[in-house]
Amino acid sequence: MCHNGQDIWDVDSSINLNIKYETFISQELVNYMDKNYKTIATKNSRAITGFSMDGYGSLWASLHHSDIFGTAGNTSGAGDIIELTKFSIDLDIKA
């Protein structure tokens, strides 16, 4: 899926608790897609991608929900790989 999170970086807000875009993407949208479209409902068959802020959100969602997304794309988005390695996830980083 390729989504548009507008101006909220595609994360759940810690300031406005009504903004739960990460939750929407990783739970509600995935469940809707699997229910209403012919999908292979496994993480290895599911990818998320985005452009700019949504690219950042795609990486964020894939790291926080690695049980849901097997692949992520980020086109022209923020994503400092050094910062990303702080998560307790086994990243296969090759120079």
**89 has a pLDDT exceeding 50:** no
Q: Which of 26-30, 71-75, 82-86 has the lowest mean pLDDT?
A: 82-86
Mean pLDDT on 34-47: 95
Number of domains into which the chain is organized = 1
What is the pTM assigned to this prediction? 0.71
Distance between CA atoms of residues 53 and 9, nearest Å: 5
End-to-end CA distance of the chain: 28
Q: In terms of pLDDT, which residue wins out, 52 or 5?
A: 52
**92 has a pLDDT exceeding 80:** no
What pLDDT is stored for residue 58 in this prediction? 86
40 — pLDDT class (breaks 50, 70, 90): very high
Q: In terms of pLDDT, which residue wins out, 6 or 19?
A: 19
Residue 53 is assigned to a structural domain of this protein:
yes
List all residues 6 or more positions away from 30 whose beta carbon is below 8 Å from its beta carbon: 46, 68
For residue 31, the enclosing domain spans: 21-84
Residue 43 is assigned to a structural domain of this protein:
yes
Q: What are the residue ranges of helices labelled H in 14-74?
A: 21-23, 30-36, 53-64
Distance between CA atoms of residues 68 and 62, nearest Å: 8
